[in-house]
Amino acid sequence: MTKRDELARARAEHEQLGDEIAAHDRAYYQNDAPVISDADYDAMRRRYEALEALFPALVDENSLSRKVGAAPAEKFAKIAHAVPMLSLGNIFSDEELEDFVARVKRFLGLDPDAEVAFTAEPKIDGLSCSLRYEKGVLVSAATRGDGLVGEDVTANVRTIADVPERLAGAAPDVIDVRGEVYMGHRDFAALNGRQAAAGKPLFANPRNAAAGSLRQLDPHVTAQRPLKFFAYAWGELNWGELNRGEVDPDRPADSQNGMMTAFRAFGFKVNPLTKLCRSAGEMLAHFRDIESRRASLGYDIDGVVYKVNDLALQQRLGFVSRAPRWATAHKFPAEKATSVVRDIEIQVGRTGVLTPVARLDPVTVGGVVVSNATLHNEDEIARKDIRIGDTVIVQRAGDVIPQILGIVPEKRPEGARPYEFPHVCPACGSAAVREIDAKTGEAEVARRCTGTLVCPAQAVERLRHFCSRNAFDIEGLGDKQIAFFYEKGLIRTPADIFTLQARDSKSLTRIENFEGFGKVSTRKLFDAIEARRDVALNRFIFALGIRHVGETNAIRLARSFETFEALREAARHATPGSEARQRINDIDGIGDVVAEAVADFFVEPHNERALDALLAQVRILPMEAVKSDSAVAGKTVVFTGTLVKLTRDEAKAMAERLGAKVSSSVSKKTDLVIAGADAGSKLAKARELGVEVIDEDAWLVLAGVGASG
């Protein structure tokens, strides 16, 4: 055999082995499901390396020996939820429970003594899943994802015994059955036993095990994991035939509890501790009862969920941002443990805030290993007098970052000195200062780095935020890649992202030659960037990372200004006391602090320059649609006077849901005024300006709710 033949054969084997090893890596790293023994895997790997040692020509940028870890996670197909999957608000105390019940009644305009029934049921600590049944047959299943789009886990869900393939009895035309996929304690222990025996990594808790098992690329693996399912909610629901020809035009179930009964009839498991309660007192009693049984349930729960029972009331209550007004989660008190502070590190956030983080000896709190805890700010450290070497009490509640409650004074080591908070940014060396609040004259709690433009910590954080899912949503530009491109000097500002490809094509050191990139992923990255040159106005505003402008305020600004130029123009002139400042201030939900932050952002010349560069690269589309087919979509409405069928909050929320802007004052820009009883000056102004005025009933008709009597 000639040398050349030898090389060709080696190349073929090398390539084949490379593919196989990559497949095993995926099975191991992404699926937790190796299909060969470690010894066999090692043997393949050794052969692969031996070939490279013999034939160095085989080593190119695709060689596995030049890659660290596994290939980027393969993606699941995506499923858009027909109805968004929301999260729940939290309450932690008896008082908050009373407040929640009172708030519901107030919103509905009910007497504080009126009776509103709630269901109370355990909050299962698993992961939520939406199962779609059409004509009674399971057609797809998706994880929650970002609430709007989840991952397609249909094949995996089909392996869960609690999930019926077909609904029993008469089934609706369409129903998304929602609930929690979870793993019981005994099954969890057994699974970890098997993992240990196979030398595989252990799962930290049943929730992680359930998530890891459901988000498997190979359903055979899921099938071997003992997952369970409780149904507790629904998304799209069309009763179809079930409703036709019935004397009572009501839906087959008109209450939360009725739906639970329906779920049971369909063949689902519904949590047996679900109970109908008629007062805050009954809810609290049931909360205590569930809490007392927590340890013996056999699965993890982290609280109790209360839901208004009457579905018509649920409908009226609606949602506020991402959580329903008609439900909340009453969380169990956090679990505690003690550990030792080994060090205090300072992290610099996107907005330049210096945040101290305690590095702790690892300790298990509530089933999760904790080795870091936030110390919030320098005042907090001083107040608790936390010193390096101190033994501290650590608390963890749900998914929130672990907190340090305080120190154990008798365990303080001798010679421990009070912690001195740095006055210099650890990332860039710029001075770190505490701003003086103009109103109170007091120093802000946060110490901030002043090197906004030179500070790498802020720049990288800013870019990360810019690319994040609810901002520009650039796939392939994750934390690691951004840090990498930043370090290489290829991306320093948002505009650089969009010029990356053009610069790369002219560069001698091409991105595809960097370790871990390659032709295919570079192509994908460029495509992902190109796909985001068109961006909705609200996302664009959010992406800028203006202080106090989160998603909701970005939507408010977008809705009010409609174009970026209009916002920019106003913000540039929004000096304190100016008309432009007032214009921003007048937006419902936006106050002084936000208006000031917006103005500050746009007057900063460096930001102006960065913006111009960015605007040359992207095209801003109108705000993402809320609900554009309604009669009031895009209109500016003002409510005035006393409404009798709706509370003011309810009316406002209704209008916003229909895509209208709600304003508090009448001007030429007002499209519609809804005047209740005793309307005064606003009504007069509307008449004067010739703005259309309607009464509450007409509003209900317009909003598609209808009015009677």
- Rule CB under 6 A: is residue 151 a binding residue for ligand IVH? no
| Alpha-carbon span 452 to 502, nearest angstrom | 27
Cβ 232 to ligand IVH shortest distance, Å: 4
Judged by beta carbon, residue 83 or residue 223, the one nearer ligand IVH is 83
Interaction of residue 270 with ligand IVH, rule CB under 6 A? no
Which string of x and - marks every residue 221-260 that binds ligand IVH (by CB under 6 A)?
-----------xx---------------------------
The two structure tokens encoding residue 334? 């956090």
Say if residues 301 and 292 touch (Cβ distance below 8 Å).
no
E strands present in 152-253: 174-183, 227-238
Candidate list 145, 324, 494, 659; residue touching ligand IVH; CB under 6 A:
324
Pick the catalytic residue from 123, 228, 661, 682: 123
**Span near ligand IVH by CB under 6 A; candidates 92-100, 117-125, 342-350, 363-371:** 117-125
Give the integer Cα–Cα distance in Å for 665 and 583: 11
| 327 in contact with ligand IVH (CB under 6 A) | yes
Among 123, 207, 251, 661, binds ligand IVH (CB under 6 A): 123
What gap in Å lies between CA 348 and CA 150, rounded to an integer? 32
Of the two residues 88 and 463, which places its CB atom closer to ligand IVH in the complex?
Answer: 88
Choices 123-131, 556-564, 656-664, 689-697; region in contact with ligand IVH by CB under 6 A = 123-131
Closer to ligand IVH by CB, 225 or 331: give it. Answer: 331
Distances (CA, A) of 519 to 20, 288, 526: 20, 59, 11
User: Minimal distance in Å, beta carbon 532 to ligand IVH?
Assistant: 28
- Residue 283 interacts with ligand IVH (CB under 6 A)? no
Count, residues near ligand IVH per rule CB under 6 A: 15
Taking the mean position of all CA atoms in its chain, how far away is CA 166?
32
Contact between residue 88 and residue 324 where contact means Cβ atoms under 8 Å apart: yes
35 DSSP 8-state letter: S
Rounded distance between C-alpha atoms, residue 36 and residue 465, angstroms: 40
Our finding on whether 128 is near ligand IVH (CB under 6 A) is yes
**Rounded to the nearest whole angstrom, what is the least distance from the CB of residue 309 to ligand IVH in the complex?**
13
With residue 72 as reference, give the H or E element that holds it: none
3-state secondary structure labels for all residues of 75-109: CCCEEECCCCCCCCCEECCHHHHHHHHHHHHHHCC
Q: Outline where 294-356 has alpha helix (H).
A: 311-317
Rounded least distance, CB 331 to ligand IVH, Å: 9
Is-contact 53 93, C-beta < 8 A? no
Report the residue number, 275 or 539, with the smaller CB distance to ligand IVH: 275
121 touches ligand IVH (CB under 6 A): yes
Contact (Cβ atoms closer than 8 angstroms) between residue 651 and residue 699? yes
Instruction: Decide if residue 407 touches ligand IVH (CB under 6 A).
Output: no
Rank residues 305 and 614 by Cβ distance to ligand IVH and give the closer one: 305
Q: Which two tokens stand for residue 17?
A: 């082995």
- In the structure encoding, which two tokens stand for residue 359, read together? 């590095």
661 included as an active-site residue: no
Q: CB of 214 within 8 A of CB of 153?
A: yes
- Touching ligand IVH, residues 50-109 (CB under 6 A): 86-88
Q: Which of 91, 104, 116, 124 binds ligand IVH (CB under 6 A)?
A: 124
Query: What residue ranges bind ligand IVH (CB under 6 A)?
Result: 86-88, 121, 123-124, 128, 144, 180, 232-233, 305, 324, 327, 329
- Which residues are catalytic, by number? 123
